[in-house]
Homo-oligomer: A and B are copies of this chain.
Amino acid sequence: MKSTKPKYNQIIEAAVKVFAENGYHGSQVSKIAKAAGVADGTIYLYFKNKEDILITVFKEKMGQFIEEIALATGKQVSAEKKLFTLIDMHIKQLSNDHDLAIVTQLELRQSNVTLRRQINQVLKPYLTMIDNIINVGIESKQFRKDINVPLMRQMIFGTLDEIVTNWVMKEHKYDLVSQVPQVHALLIHGLRS
């Protein structure tokens, strides 16, 4: 059996690279086609339009991203450790794939509201995962019982997102992974001395 849908995968991989290097609006379809080694028209055998490429790239890549984190956090029992694992994996995965990080943190936002809504759909399982961890923590009394879960989730996700975006904007010049324990500590203990 041949590797399934070879052109499809070629296009996906090329798109991540091209989007990362040029941004969404700077990534002409012809440029993606060239990078994928296919004809322009071939793109449209697999994707409805240019926007569809971006959203599909995101779905495929983000699906794996979330899957990995779900798997790893599932192995932990305590909410604190689950949270640590989530932070760790979130940062490690994006640290290891600069192109993907650029796409998720920068290029993906260069899109209209409609597209952003679709992106939010893809992110939903991830956000639900965070909610679940918080709830586990509350039930096990590791976390305060009066926590507003959506707010807390926004804090966790917003913090991770901002940290990775900063790192991408600084062109990956420093090491992110070593900051994981501190991020975890801040989220757990807060600022108060």
Is A26's beta carbon under 8 Å from chain B? yes
* Contact residue among B144, B148, B152 (Cβ-Cβ distance under 8 Å from A193): B144
CB-CB < 8 A to A162: which residues of B? 154-155, 157-159, 161-162
CB distance from A118 to the nearest CB of B (A): 12
Q: In the docked arrangement, what's the CA distance between A111 and B106, Å?
A: 9
The reply to whether B169 and A116 contact each other, CB–CB distance below 8 Å, is yes
CB distance from A19 to the nearest CB of B (A): 12
Q: In the docked arrangement, what's the CA distance between A191 and B166, Å?
A: 24
Interface size on A, residues (CB 8 A): 46
Is A34's beta carbon under 8 Å from chain B? no
Interface of A is mostly: helix
Number of copies: 4
- A153-184: CB near B (< 8 Å → 1, else 0) gives 01101111111001001000000000100110
CB-CB < 8 A to A1: which residues of B? none
Among listed A6-14, A56-64, A70-78, A135-143, interface-contacting one: A135-143
- A109-124: CB near B (< 8 Å → 1, else 0) gives 1111100110010000
Is A39's beta carbon under 8 Å from chain B? no
CB distance from A156 to the nearest CB of B (A): 9
Give 15 new A-B contacts, CB below 8 A, not counting A142-B191, A144-B193: A26-B112, A83-B191, A113-B169, A117-B169, A142-B192, A143-B193, A144-B191, A147-B191, A151-B183, A154-B162, A155-B163, A186-B190, A188-B191, A189-B189, A190-B192
Please report A residues at the B interface, Cβ cutoff 8 Å: 23, 25-26, 83, 106, 109-113, 116-117, 120, 134, 137, 141-145, 147-148, 151-152, 154-155, 157-163, 166, 169, 179, 182-183, 186-193
